[in-house]
Structure 1
């Protein structure tokens, strides 16, 4: 458990606050991430999380319960891979306070201990210094660089590939 945050599944009841925080965080998210901005997009976002190939969670403050950010474990592959890909974003006004480091650490623990994954990956744009610092703090290793890897905001963007494995 986190000392300042907890992690729980995102749910329909989060829609209003989630969308409000996404709107308030547009400049923070910039070209780094694309999150739902309407009720229809939020419904589609929720529908992605089938608990088999993707899990969607929110990082909540223990003090007051507000949403500090979101973390997804996407593209879960079983069999000989046992891996998933993290997606995450902080929400203003809570960004820059270490809540997401704690929240992503909880998501990694969940991926390894609850989902039984062996590997968690994070794909990060080279200019996203905050996200790069976060994965470095959590012990991820940089494994490579992929030009024009993910289409975000209508543009194909380069990404660094980072990973952490559960070697226990």
Structure 2
């Protein structure tokens, strides 16, 4: 179970978050570039929200318990069931709350959500090698380095190399009592 004294909670991103989200993206441009690009206009934000309504994607806001303010975002992308039972993480802190440990606490909650409620077996994070804060985040959470992939993702106008980091439910100590129903018996 997640720690009861976490300073953050998780909740799904929704259309009502548009004003706060867009303001945070604008305030965080220097923090995010060149690592990632988040929706910065109302039409792009609305399309982003729609993307995460499907069964193979989740967008979770990391929100401060004391104020409800959005501190960051953690997405579980490309959820694949069957024999794989895996998802790929994308995440970003927002500048007003960065560096305070909220994303570490949020990632802990996401691990419990992904491995407990969603019953995934594995999560992966692709991180640009120069993004030291992001590497520290996944390392603290118990992810293991699995190598480097040249030209893996198109970010900030170019194909970027990424380090691959992963964690399984057993590594996190969050193995569900029953596997997801799409996992074959053999």
**TM-score range with shorter-chain normalisation?**
over 0.9
**Which residue among 123, 126, 137 is the counterpart of 1:123?**
126
- 1:50 is displaced (CA, Å) by 2.8
The answer on 1:62 being equivalent to 2:65 is: yes
Larger radius of gyration: 2
- 1:150 is displaced (CA, Å) by 0.2
| Equivalent residues in 2 for 1:1-168, closer than 5 Å | 1=2, 3-167=6-170, 168=175
Q: TM-score, normalised on structure 2? A: 0.88
Structure 2: which 5+ runs fail to align?
176-186
Deviation per residue, 1:34-80 (Å, 9 max, x gap): 10000011011111113411001100000111000101000000000
Q: Distance in 1 between matches of 2:159 and 2:129?
A: 13
RMSD of Structure 2 on Structure 1 (CA): 0.9
Structure 1: which 5+ runs fail to align?
none
Q: TM-score, normalised on structure 1? A: 0.97
Q: Alignment partner of 1:21: what SS?
A: helix
Aligned residues: 168
